[in-house]
Chain A
C-alpha cells in the first residue's frame, strides 16, 4: 500500500501570506496527485489534479507542483475564505493524506 504523509498537520498564517502544504508518498506516484479543500461541514472540493492542473473555477492563487514522491500545494496569497482542511489524494491506489488544517493567524 502507498502511504501518504501530509505536513504540517496544522498551519496558522496571516492574510496575504504565501502558504505551502506538503504531501509525501511512500513510493513514486508518477504525478497522480490531487489536492482537495474541505471547509467545515462541507464536502471536499477539488482544487488541483495531476499535480499541477487547476480545476475549473479555482482561483489562480492555488498552484501545485512536485514529482516522484514529493508534492506541494501553494497558496500565493492567503485569503480568509481559504480557512479549511486540505487533503491530498494519490490515485495509483487511492490513498488520501491525513490532512492539513489551515487557519488565519
Chain B
C-alpha cells in the first residue's frame, strides 16, 4: 500500500524557517518524481514544486522559488520541504504527493501556522 506521511509542521513565528518531511512507503521511492502542494485554510490548492528521481531536476512555482527548497533522500525514502522567511501567507496545510503522470497518491497533510 502506498503511504505518504508528512511531519514537521506546527506554529512558527514570522520570518523564521521550518523544514517539513514526507516519509514514503509501499512503493519504490527512487523510481518516482515527488511534489509538494499546499492549501491555505478554506482555499484552493497551490502547487509548490517537484523533484525528479535523482534530484537533478527541481521545479518550483515562480512565486516561491526563492523561499522554498525541495530535496529528497532516497536512502531514507524521504522527501523534504525547507521553508524560509515565512509569512502569514504561508499558513496552510502542506501535502506531499507521488507523481506518476500526475499526483496519484497524497499524504494526509501537515498544518503550518505562521503567527507571532
Contacts and interface: CB of A to CB of B under 8 A. Distances in A.
Given A43-B107, A43-B109, A44-B95, A98 B102 contact: no
B26 interface: no
A55 B104 contact: yes
Contacts of A94: 47, 50, 61
B106 A99 contact: no
B45 interface: yes
Mostly, the B contact residues are strand
Nearest to A1: B62
Contacts of A42: 108
A50 interface: yes
Interface string A69-97: 00000000000000000010101001111
A49 interface: yes
Contacts, number: 44
A43 B103 CA distance: 12
Contact of B44 (A34, A49, A91, A97): A97
Contact of B104 (A46, A87, A91, A99): A46
B46 interface: yes
Contacts of B95: 43-44
B101 interface: yes
A61 B46 CA distance: 28
Interface of A: 34, 36, 42-46, 49-50, 55, 87, 89, 91, 94-99
13 contacts: A34-B102, A34-B103, A42-B108, A43-B108, A44-B37, A45-B106, A46-B102, A46-B103, A49-B101, A95-B47, A96-B46, A97-B44, A99-B45
Given A44-B106, A87-B44, 20 more contacts: A34-B102, A34-B103, A43-B107, A43-B109, A44-B103, A49-B101, A49-B102, A49-B104, A50-B101, A55-B104, A87-B45, A89-B45, A89-B102, A89-B103, A94-B50, A94-B61, A96-B44, A96-B46, A97-B44, A98-B44
